[in-house]
Amino acid sequence: MRALQHGRRRRRPVLAWIIVIAAIVAAAVLAGRTFRPPLHVRRPPAPSALRTDVQVYFVRTASGRRALTLAAVHRRVVLAPADALAASTLRALLAGPSRSERSRGLLTEIPAGTVLRDVTINGGLATVDLGVSFAQGGGSTSMLARVWQVVYTATQFPEVASVQFLIGGRRVDTLGGEGLMIGAPLRRPRAMPTF
């Protein structure tokens, strides 16, 4: 009889362990279905983009004279490879002077609404494609000023020695009624131009 009771005692602990393990497995399965982690995991915010100082060139009256010349002002743009950096800088130029800069007598001869279609840099040449409004309105002084604004702004970068203008995706030989020659690449002159 003792042997029979002893066998039952042994079965009870084994049976108890099987029940405990089955309960743990069932709880884990249910927990896995009920408490699933969200599919969308929040990512930490991206670090802010590095910025750099660039110059854009606006127009001002030369001191004591009636002539106009260029004046450099600083802008902060996102640091990027040469083509993208030149594009950001030229877009800052096209945005025009700030209210504060206008109050100090700075202006732009680039027509409002002029868009930058594309910029590519290859072998020291920046090909700058501007919208057709760049070629509209203004006389020879205005045309000279806007061309030099773009040339000076683009050639501040060591990768750019000259600028080839495209207007509306096409190369044009002259700009404006007076025929300002822009068919060949333009370089920054040694002295700041007056117009």
Domain that holds residue 19: 1-42
User: Alpha helix locations (H) across the chain?
Assistant: 2-34, 82-94, 99-103, 140-154
Euclidean distance between CA atoms 154 and 12, whole angstroms: 88
Is 29 in the same domain as 73? no
The residues, ordered by sequence, that sit 6+ positions from 141 with a Cβ below 8 Å of its Cβ are 68, 109, 195
pLDDT in tens, 42-99: 555 556 689 999 999 999 987 666 788 999 999 999 999 999 999 999 999 999 999 9
Q: What is the mean pLDDT of the segment spanning 133-148? A: 94
Q: What is the pTM of this model?
A: 0.75
Is 157 in the same domain as 63? yes
Examine residue 195 and state whether it is found in any structural domain, yes or no. no
Looking at the structure of the chain, the number of domains it has is: 2
Distance of CA 156 to the CA centre of its chain: 18
Is 35 in the same domain as 59? no
Is 99 in the same domain as 183? yes
Is 76 in the same domain as 130? yes
Is 107 in the same domain as 148? yes
Examine residue 192 and state whether it is found in any structural domain, yes or no. no
Is 13 in the same domain as 71? no
